[in-house]
A and B are shown apart, each in its own frame.
Chain A
Amino acid sequence: MKKFITLLLTVVMVLLCSCKVTDTTDIKTSYNFETDVPYFYRTGDAINPIAISPDGYYFIGDFGIAIYVDKNTMKGTPLCNKPNCDHTDRETCNAYISKSIGHFIQYYKGYIYTLNEVYNADKQYYEPILARYNLDGTGFKSMTNPINLSEAGSVADCFIHRGYFYYSTFYGIYRLSMDNLKGEAEKLYKVKNKEEECNNIHCLNAYGNYLYFEPFEINDEGETEEINYSLNLKTLELKKLADNVAGFFNDRLITAKGDPDKDKIYYRICDLDGGNSRKYETLPIDDELRFDPLRKLHYVQINNDSIFPEKLTAYDSKGKELYSTDLPKNSEISFTPQDENYFFEIRTQEDKNGKAKKWLWYANKTDVGNELKFKKLCKLSWAKIELPGYITVG
């Protein structure tokens, strides 16, 4: 009998062990849709409130409302399953899933994640929590404990990448394992000599097994220094990068450095840790290079006055111009993140009553000839009235 039980237990243990799914995503370098942060939506210091799921896109609109855009129809609707709802009451409307100022939203393994807030009466402060929702905006679940910000100021930026929730505060970068989100956060980096009581960590992004960021620190001479770092997420090895991070292309890192004397900006391509750097492209200093995540194309956004972009031109990797579009002059265009299929941007326009309204626009990159055409996608404000206490997008 004992032998039988021992044998049975052994079989059960073997079966149980074989049930463990090995997550192999950390071995691959290439972008993995299910597990990686969509690095291509993170342009420079901008946290674009956009998430991509298998069937559509999620945007955070005005006052924190989530808008779903179906990939098949490219039409948008508030993430609310109530046809009797006018999307004015945050308490009852399902679409108000983001309740933090950063308006973070990301798809990860079948769910939508946002940053919410809970009130800490002792500290008289709203503390952020990572919130999870089903794809239709239902099934809210609080995933983390309120993030302790005693020495941190506030969560400045965050994302989920390869099994970890990363967040930066004014003075440091931390991560929590997605398997143990209620556990202790692991500190990855701390600003050594903070300059001011404001966000000192910029341009947080991740690609493959590397995290990139740019802390503003005071050097020995007492001057503010902007250093670019890459952090190996497996070995936690920190490396200084010679230039700014400009993007990723073909599983490699593109860096940029401007030369004001020559009015040029030099792009270099290197390994993801910054090694094996070589010359890649040289452009006029006012132009910005943006990369298509999948195709061997790159896009140049021409800026005549550094505030309002005026022209968007697509080149292939050999520098041949494919198509371009003139952007409306002096328009407030908030961001132009792109993925393999679309450009997105927010334009502010006046409605019939002369009120400024924000609209989401998009351009399909796959059905263009010589010109890139932007079309209206949907409005960003759905509430009948202006809701108090929340910032608007753009």
Chain B
Amino acid sequence: MALTLKELKIFKGSALLLSLDVTVKDGEILTVMGPSGSGKSTLLQVIAGHLNTPFSFSGSILIDGTDLASKSPHRRGVGVMFQDALLFEHMTVEQNIMFAMPSGKYQSINKKREAAATLLEAVELGGMQHRAVTSLSGGQQSRISLLRTLAAEPQAVLLDEPFSKLDTALREQIREWTFTQLRERNIPALLVTHDNADAVSAGGQIVELLSC
């Protein structure tokens, strides 16, 4: 399922913002670092399919050799996580996860519900299915957010400074936990961060972007 960025060049107007040529192997977490304005978030938008004027790109984005460029964002199988958990507040914990699960995969809604419960229990959040997401702590929200991303069975995951809003003690725990989950599922991931400790813990290749 490797994620390949082949001769990828991103432009703002006609000016070159960044260029990248790299492959993220299955289960690898590649770290992209660089000052603000260097195009880190734009890189994630290119891969997720949300790029718009004045930005444009050349080159190709491949997952297992399939080019993503012609696919709509929701058909790319690319999960995105931001620094906020962004759980849907009009849904319970369980509904958030079931919303993410592939629709054709489960025979009945009850099977789907059981699968959601299993996912939650595996990470010590069992019994929280019917909680309102606003009643959860910051750490719980982060973990549910990752579970939701994984429940969609993505082919690659993009992490946009996902730990930057957590306090130091919590950050290490959530980080280790997140990386373990991604490696266990053999998913290639691309992490954008300011924090050196994130890069060290990710243990994959590190790309430094220069400011323009």
**Do chains A and B stick together as partners?**
no
